[in-house]
Structure 1
Amino acid sequence: MNVTTSDITSEWAPDPSVLPVWFAEALAVPREEGFVTVDGVRLHYFRWGNPAAPPVLMTHGFLSHARCFAFVAPFLARDYHVVAYDLSGMGDSDVRPDCDMAARGRELIGVAEALGLLGHARKPILAAHSFGSAVALTAIELAPTTFGGAVICDMMVLRPSELEKYRSNGRTSPGSGDPNRPHRRYPDYLNARARYVLSPPQPVGEPFLMDYMAYHALRREGTDWTWKFSPDVFKRDNSQRLWLEIGLRLVAASGRKAIIHGEKSQLFTRDSRQYLRELGGRDIPIIAVPEARHHLMLDQPLAFTAALRAVIEEWSIGD
C-alpha cells in the first residue's frame, strides 16, 4: 500500500497547524507500508525511496515501533532505499514464540532478504536504536559479510561496575519485564496516553513527538485502549548477561561501526566512551548529539538525523 499522507490524527495532534513544517513534510514523503513473513511470523514494515538505491535497514528500541524512524527516514529517502520494521511482538508485527536474541538476529536478516535489500551491489547499512542495536549486532555476528556497516544509536554500553550501579538504583535494563502480567485496559485514549512513559524516564525536547510515539504504541480493543506490544517479548529478551557482554561484542563485531548517542544519555556516557576504548574500540567513531538523552530522536530529531546521514554518506563515498 502506498502512503502519501501523514500519520497526523486529531487524537494526538488536535491542532496539526502547530506542528513543525519539517515534520509534516517528512511524513508526507511517499512510503510503502506492508507486511512480510519471516520464519512463519508476519512482520510490519515501512519503505521509503527508490528500491534501486543503496539500502539502509532501521531497527527500533525495546517496546517501541518503527515509527520512531518515520520522521527520520524521509531525510535519507532521496539517496537511499530505507526500510524500518517492527520487531516481532512489538508495533504491528506478530509475536514470535520464545524469541531470543539469536532469533531476532535471524529475523533481521530475513526482513532484509524478503524486501530485496541483499540483492543490491552495496551491502545494507544498519541503523539501530537501543535494544535494536543488540539485534543488529547479533545479525552481524550471524552473517558477518552480509551488511555494509552498523550505526549504533544510544545502545546501553556500561562497564560492569557502572551497570551494577545503574541497576542498584532500581533501574532496569532494556528487555526487562514480567511476561505473566497482562496489559491494562483503559476506557479512552487520554487515560491510556497518560500511562505512556519512556525507559529510562526522561523529558523530551520535542513533546509532540512523544505524543506521536504514544499514539502509535496503543491500539483499540473493543471500546478500550491497550498496548500494542505483547507481554510475551519478556520471556526471552530479559537477559542480564546480554548487557554485561555487549561492549566486548560491539568491539569484536566485524565491519564498519559508528556510535551516535545523546550527550546526556544515562545508557551511553563519557565513561562508556572510555570503556570502549579500553576494550579496543579506538577506531569506532563516536558522535554525541548535544542536548539529547537516550531517546535522541525525540530530543533532537534534526541533529540526530544529520549525524546519521553524515555517517551513512561517508561510508557510501568509501564504497
Structure 2
Amino acid sequence: MNTVVTTPTDLATELPPDAADVPTWLESALSVPREEGWVPSGGCDIRYFRWGNPENPPLLLMHGFLAHSRCFGFIAPFLAQHYHVVAFDLSGMGDSGVRDNYPDDVRADEVVDVARSTGLFDHSIKPIVIAHSYGGHVALTAMQDNHALFGGVIICDLMVLRPERLKEHFGSGKPLRSDTSRPNRVYPDYESAKARFVLSPPQPVSVPSLFDYMAYHSLKQVEGGWTWKFDTSVFQSDFGQSDRMMRQGQIIAETQGRKAIVYGEDSVLFDDDSADYIRECGAVDMPIVGIPGARHHLMLDEPIAFVSVLRTILAQWNAEPSSNV
C-alpha cells in the first residue's frame, strides 16, 4: 500500500484553471483533508482517496464507466463527518493502472481488495458500498460472491430497463468504440481536449464548475498535448453482454444483502417504470428513491439533495440490525 497524505487538499491543483463561479460549498468540500495513494489488486495499482475517521462506520464509493473517483470527491467530505469513506478509480480508468482485459470477476476482486487494504473490513460494522451507474454493476458482481463482507449496497442510477425497452434503447445506437486497439487521441492543448469532453448520456449540469472539475480530472498531459485517462481496452469489458443487461432487474432482486436504489427522476437510464420492473422481479422491500430534477449524473445535477438522500438511507441502515446480510 503506497500512501501519500494531503492535508488539506490544494485547491490550485484540485480545481481546473478555467473553473468559474465555484460555489463556497464546493471549495469547502474539496478543502477537507484526505489521504490518497495506491493499493495492489491482481498485479495492478488501484488509486484511492480516503476521508474521515477510521473509527467511524465504513463506506466504499464507486464511479461509473469512463469516469473516476473524483465524481465523489465533493460528495465524500459530507459523508466523512460521520463515516470512514474510501473512493477508488477502477482499473483502466482515472489514475489507476491498466490491465490486458477487464472481466467482471477481476472488477469484483478490486472492490474487495481496496476495502481490505484501506481497513474497511477492520470495523465491527461492515462497509456499505455506494456505486454510481457502471459502478453499480461492479458492486452487484462483488456482492454476489462476497455479500457477507458488506453491509449493503446503494445503487445510484444504474441502467435498468425492461428487456423490450432495452432493445429499443440500443436498437439504433452505435457501439461505444469500434476499434478498442486504437489509442486515445492526443489534443494539442487542454482547451481543445476539454472541448471534446461530454457526459454520457449528454445532459446539462446545475453547477457548471462541477462539469469543469470532471473534465479536468478525466484528462492527463502527455508528450504532444493532452489525452484521456481511460484505457481503450475497457470497452471490451463484460458489461455490454446482452444477457446480463437483459437480466439486470432479476440480478438486483436476487443479489443477497441490503440494497437501495437512488435515481434521478429525469434520468433516461432509470425511471419510475424501472422501479416498477424491479419490484415485479421480486425486490418488494428495497428502498427506491427518486431525486426530483436530477438526471443520470446525480452528483452533478443535485449534489446536496444527493448527499441528503444518501445520509438518510445510511442513518436508517445503521440504526437497524442487518438481518439479511
Give 3-state SS (helix, strand or coil) of 1:43's partner: strand
What is the rounded CA distance, in whole Å, between the counterparts of 1:62 and 1:15 in structure 2?
Answer: 24
1:102 is displaced (CA, Å) by 1.5
Equivalent residue, structure 1, for 2:124: 121
Going from structure 1 to structure 2, the CA distance change for 1:152 and 1:278 (only over 3 Å counts) comes to: same
Q: Alpha-carbon deviation of 1:39?
A: 1.6
- Name the SS of the counterpart of 2:147 in structure 1: coil
Q: Is the 8 A contact 1:53 1:80 kept in 2?
A: yes
The answer for the alignment partner of 1:276 in structure 2 is 278
- Distance (Å, rounded) in 2 between the aligned partners of 1:170 and 1:15: 33
Alignment partners' CA distance in 1, 2:289 and 2:179: 34
Question: Residue 266 of structure 1 is aligned with which of 262, 268, 277?
Answer: 268
Q: Give 4+ residue runs of structure 1 displaced > 3 Å after superposition.
A: 6-11, 13-16, 175-178
Partners of 1:177 and 1:234 within 8 A in 2: no
Q: 2:98 and 2:212 mapped to 1: Cα distance?
A: 25
Query: How many Å apart are 1:9 and its aligned residue?
Result: 4.6
CA contact (8 A) 1:106 1:142 kept: no
| Distance 1:10-1:48 versus aligned 2 partners, 3 A rule | closer
Query: The residue matched to 1:144 in structure 2 has which SS?
Result: helix
1:171-205 superposed Cα distances (whole Å, 9 cap, x missing partner): 66xx7664123211100001000000111111112
Aligned length: 316
- Aligned residue in 2 for 1:300: 302
How far apart are 1:13 and its partner, in Å?
Answer: 4.1
* 2:73 is the counterpart of 1:70: yes
User: 1:139-288 counterparts in 2 under 5 A?
Assistant: 139-170=142-173, 178-237=179-238, 238-288=240-290
Code of the residue aligned with 2:258 in structure 1: it is R
Instruction: Name the stretch that deviates more: 179-188 or 69-78.
Output: 179-188
Whole-angstrom distance in 1 between the partners of 2:278 and 2:85:
29
CA apart distance, 1:222: 1.7
Identity among equivalent pairs (%): 49
Q: Scaled by the length of structure 1, what TM-score is found? A: 0.95
Choose 237-246 or 185-194, whichever is displaced more.
237-246
Return the alpha-carbon distance in structure 1 between the equivalents of residues 145 and 15 of structure 2. Answer: 42
Summarize deviations over 1:130-183 as a string: whole Å, max 9, x none.
0000110011111121100100000001010010111124266xx766412321
TM score, norm. by length of structure 2: 0.93
SS in 1 for 2:100: coil
2:314 pairs, out of 309, 312, 316, with 312
- The residue that corresponds to 2:45 in the other structure is 42
CA deviations on 1:228-249 (whole Å, 9 max, x unpaired) are: 0000111224323331121111
Gaps of 5+ in 1: none
